[in-house]
Chain A
Amino acid sequence: MTRRVLQLSVNGRAHELMVEPRRTLADVLREDLELTGTHLGCEHGVCGACTVLLDGLAVRSCLMLAVQAAGTEVMTIEGLERDGEMHPLQEAFRDSHSFQCGFCTPGFVMTVLALLDEGRDLSEVELREELSGNLCRCTGYQSIVEGVQLAAERMAAGR
Chain B
Amino acid sequence: MKPPPFEYHAVGSVEEAVGLLAEHGDEAKVLAGGQSLVPLLALRLARPAHLVDINGVSELASFANGDALRVGCLVRQRVAERAGAVGVANPLLVRALGLIGHTAIRNRGTIGGSIAHADPAAELPTVLVALDGEVEATSRRGPRTVAASELFRGFLTTSLAPDELLTGVRFPPWLAGTGWSFQEFSRRSGDFAIAGVAVTVRLDTNGVATDVRIALSGMGPTPVRASSAEAALVGQPPSEAAWNAASQEAVAGLDPPSDVHGSAAYRRHLAGVMTRRALREAHERAEVRS
Contacts and interface: CB of A to CB of B under 8 A. Distances in A.
Contact of A133 (B4, B42, B53, B103): B103
A111 B104 contact: yes
Given A22-B2, A22-B6, A27-B2, A65 B38 contact: yes
Interface of A: 1-2, 4, 20-24, 27, 43-45, 48, 51, 54, 57-60, 62-65, 67-68, 111, 114-115, 129-130, 132-133
Nearest to A133: B102
A27 B38 CA distance: 14
A59 B104 contact: yes
Most buried by B among A24, A45, A57, A133: A45
A22 B4 CA distance: 7
B235 interface: no
A22 B104 contact: no
Contacts of A2: 7
A64 B5 contact: no
Contacts, number: 93
Contacts of A4: 8
A34 to B, nearest CB: 18
A137 B89 CA distance: 41
B105 interface: yes
Interface of B: 1-8, 10, 31, 34-35, 38-39, 41-43, 51, 53, 55, 78, 101-105, 107-108, 188-190
Main SS class of interface, A: mixed
B241 to A, nearest CB: 33
25 contacts: A1-B5, A4-B8, A21-B51, A22-B2, A22-B6, A24-B2, A24-B38, A43-B2, A44-B1, A44-B39, A48-B102, A48-B104, A58-B103, A58-B107, A59-B104, A60-B108, A63-B38, A63-B105, A63-B108, A65-B8, A65-B34, A68-B31, A68-B55, A132-B189, A133-B105
Given A22-B5, A62-B38, 19 more contacts: A1-B5, A2-B7, A21-B8, A22-B4, A22-B41, A23-B2, A43-B42, A44-B42, A45-B38, A54-B107, A57-B107, A59-B108, A60-B104, A60-B108, A65-B3, A111-B103, A130-B102, A130-B103, A132-B188
B108 A62 contact: no
Contacts of B55: 68
Contacts of B104: 48, 51, 58-60, 111, 133
Contacts of B42: 24, 43-44, 62
A44 B43 contact: yes
A132 B102 contact: yes
A154 B78 CA distance: 28
A132 B190 contact: yes
A27 B108 CA distance: 18
A114 B103 CA distance: 10
Given A21-B6, A21-B8, A63-B38, A45 B188 contact: no
Contacts of A27: 2
Most buried by A among B34, B38, B104: B104
B272 to A, nearest CB: 26
A12 B273 CA distance: 51
A45 B4 contact: no
A31 to B, nearest CB: 11
Contacts of B3: 22-24, 65
Contact of B38 (A64, A67, A114, A129): A64
